[in-house]
Amino acid sequence: MITSRKISTRAGSINVFEGGEGPDLLFLHAAGGVSADNPFLKALAQSYHVRAPQLPGYGESDDSDNIHDMLEVTLHTFDVLEKLGMSRPLLVGHSLGGMIAAEMAAIAPNDVDRMALICPAGLWLDAHPVPDIFTLMPREFPEYMFHDAEAGKAMMAGAQGGNMNDPAFLIPFLVNNSRQLGMAGKFLFPIPERGLKDRMYRIKARTVLVWGASDRLFPAPYAHAWKEGIAGSALVIIPEAGHMVPLEKTEATLAAIGRLR
């Protein structure tokens, strides 16, 4: 059972999903956001006391003009932790969320002791330029995000299943897209790299990297670059999964995170 509540931060009112019992876990969502019925969130709540804040601009969280850059969103996330009364939870971040978690661990290495980064954003390899997600049309997302694009289409149906020529569908779709990716763009546009490579040497957290073997957004060389960048980190590559590995291979993702218990 996932519930939600609001907390007040400098960046405005933030919506936090919460559920489950067990060790504290803070889940940081990807650029696509997270909702109460997210199957991965529900699965985490089977074993952990999960809190999943929505970034400003996402869902019920306020829009925020106070967040401009990576440092501000990182400090904002520490503010959220503080408001939730959480101390050194297990940090789990997917994609953009993984980028924020890693930044937290680099900025305050003594305050983050365990984290699972699921195909995080944040590095750039000239030899392997990542696709520009800001130019993708909704119908193009599944092939980049999922190992099984057809199954992915079905999973994303709610997000892209409407008629783009119908203003009643289109306008709310565009508003949502603009709020969410407008905020995510502050950290990901035009190149999803904000200098973490120069700071990641500071990370002390025990780190598990979780990667879908057929991730087409951040392909395998990124997994290895992260592993090299974080001393002592473990890399778990999950077969037959793409960038949406938490949805495509939920059990395997949970097992990888379980290494940190």
Binding stretches for other proteins (CB under 8 A): 63, 65, 68, 134-137, 140, 164-165, 167, 170-171, 174-175, 177-183, 185-186, 189-191
Residue (76 or 186) nearer to other proteins, CB: 186
Helix 70-83 / helix 96-107 crossing angle, nearest 10 deg = 80
Dihedral sign from CA coordinates of 83, 89, 92, 97: positive
Strand boundaries in the chain, DSSP class E: 3-9, 12-19, 24-28, 49-53, 90-94, 114-118, 206-212, 234-238
For residue 29, the one-letter residue type is H
CB of 73 to other proteins, least distance (A): 12
Q: Report the residue number, 4 or 66, with the smaller CB distance to other proteins.
A: 66
Toward other proteins, which CB reaches closer, 66 or 250? Answer: 66
Q: Which is nearer to other proteins, 1 or 137 (CB)?
A: 137
Nearest-approach distance from CB 15 to other proteins, in angstroms: 17
Residue with smaller CB distance to other proteins, 157 or 170: 170
Give the shortest CB-159-to-other proteins separation in angstroms. 13
* Contact (Cβ atoms closer than 8 angstroms) between residue 80 and residue 14: yes
State how beta strands 49-53 and 12-19 pair: antiparallel
- Beta-strand pair 206-212/234-238: parallel
For residue 105, the minimal CB distance to other proteins (Å) is 24
CA nearest neighbour of 195 among 71, 94, 78, 105: 71
CA distances to 117, 129, 221, 252 from 126, in Å: 22, 6, 11, 30
Structure tokens at 154: 């079905």
State in angstroms the smallest separation of the CB of 184 from other proteins. 8
CA 112 to the chain's CA centroid: 17
Nearer to other proteins, 183 or 217 (CB): 183
Distance in Å, CB of 147 to other proteins, minimum: 23
Tokens of 64: 């925020």
